[in-house]
Amino acid sequence: MYTADYHIENLVYGVLVGAEIAKGTITAMDTRAAERSPGILQVITHLNPVDVPGYASEKEAMEGAASGNPLHILATPEIHFYDQPIALVIADTYERALDAAKKIKTQYDREAHKTSVKAAEAEGRLPAGERMKDYVRGVADGYKNAEVIVDEEYYHPIDVHSPMELANTIAHWTATDKLHIYTKTQGVEDTQRVFSTLFKIPAENVTVDAEYVGGAFGMGLRRWPYELITIAAARKIGRPLKVVLSREQMFTNVGHRPETKQRIAFGATKEGKLVGITHQATANTSPYYDFTEATLMMTQYMYACPNVTTRYRIVPLNISNPIWMRGPGEATGSFALESGLDELAYKLKIDPIQLRLINYADQDPVKNVPWTSKFLKECYEMGAEKIGWKNRKMEPRQNREGDWLVGYGMGTGTFGSSRAPASIQAILNPAGELYLACSVNDMGPGTATMMATIAVEQLGVQQENITVKIGNTNLPAGPTQGGSVVATSVGAAVYDVCLAVKEKLIDLAKAQGHVLTLENVTFQGNMLQLTGENAKTINVADLLSNANLRHIDLTINSKGPEVKGSKYSYSVHFIKVKVHALTGQIKIDHAVACADGGTIISPKTAASQMIGGAVGGIGMALFEDLVFDHRFGKAITNTLADYHVPVNADIPHVDALFVDKKDPVSNAMGTKGIGEIALIGVAPAVANAIFNATGKRVRSLPITPEKLI
Ligand code: MOS
Q: Ligand 1 centre from 291 Cα, in Å?
A: 15
Please report the pLDDT score of residue 514 as a whole number.
95
- Ligand 1 centre and the CA of 187: distance in Å? 11
Q: Is the CB of 220 under 6 A from ligand 1?
A: no
CA of 485 to the centre of ligand 1 (A): 10
Q: Is 420 in the pocket of ligand 1 (CB under 6 A)?
A: no
560 within ligand 1 shell (Cβ under 6 A): no
Which of helix, strand or coil describes residue 337? Answer: helix
Least confident of 73-77, 89-93, 325-329: 73-77
pLDDT tens, residue by residue, 647-658: 999 999 999 999
Residues in the chain: 709
Residues of the chain with pLDDT > 70: what percent? Answer: 98
Measured in whole angstroms, the distance separating CA 433 from the mean position of its chain's CA atoms is 34
Query: Over the range 555-585, which residues count as b (16 or more CB within 10 Å of their CB) and which as e?
Result: ebebebeeeebbbbbbbbbbbbbbbbbeebe
Give yes or no for residue 59 having a pLDDT over 80.
no
pLDDT tens by residue, 599-641: 999 999 999 999 999 999 999 999 999 999 999 999 999 999 9
> Average per-residue pLDDT in the chain?
96
More confident of the two residues 655 and 60: 655
CA of 606 to the centre of ligand 1 (A): 16
DSSP 222: S
- Distances in Å between the Cα of 452 and the Cα atoms of 211, 490, 496 are 16, 11, 13
Residue 480 Cα to ligand 1 midpoint, Å, equals 9
Minimum-distance ligand 1 atom for the alpha carbon of 218: 4
Which ligand 1 atom sits nearest the alpha carbon of residue 483?
3
Mean pLDDT throughout 338-357?
A: 98
Distance CA 596, CA 364 (A): 16
pLDDT band at 676 (very low <50, low <70, confident <90, very high): very high
Residue 64 Cβ inside 6 Å of ligand 1? The answer reads no
Q: Is any ligand 1 atom within 6 A of the Cβ of residue 218?
A: yes
Question: What's the pLDDT band for 51 if we cut at 50, 70, 90?
Answer: confident
Q: Of ligand 1's atoms, which has the minimum distance to the CA of residue 186?
A: 4
Q: Is residue 325 lining ligand 1, measured as CB closer than 6 Å? A: yes
445 lines ligand 1 (CB under 6 A): no
Assign 535 to helix, strand or coil: coil
pLDDT tens for each residue of 492-548: 999 999 999 999 999 999 999 999 999 999 999 999 999 888 899 999 999 999 999
Question: How many angstroms separate the first and last alpha carbons of the chain?
Answer: 48
Query: What is residue 239's three-state secondary structure?
Result: coil
Atom of ligand 1 minimally distant from the CA of 676 = 1
Would you say the CB of residue 483 lies under 6 angstroms from ligand 1? yes
pLDDT tens readout for residues 532-577: 888 999 999 999 999 999 999 999 999 988 888 999 999 999 999 9
Reply yes or no on whether the pLDDT at 215 is more than 80: yes
**489 CA to middle of ligand 1, Å?**
15
pLDDT at 61 over 80: no
Q: Is 221 in the pocket of ligand 1 (CB under 6 A)?
A: yes
pLDDT score recorded for residue 54: 79
633 lines ligand 1 (CB under 6 A): no
pLDDT of residue 332: 98
Return the ligand 1 atom nearest residue 327 CA: 2
Q: Which atom of ligand 1 is nearest to the CA of 324?
A: 2
pLDDT for 66:
45
CA distance 348 to 31: 67
The whole-model pTM stands at 0.97
Closest CA to 200 of 231, 221, 225, 171: 231
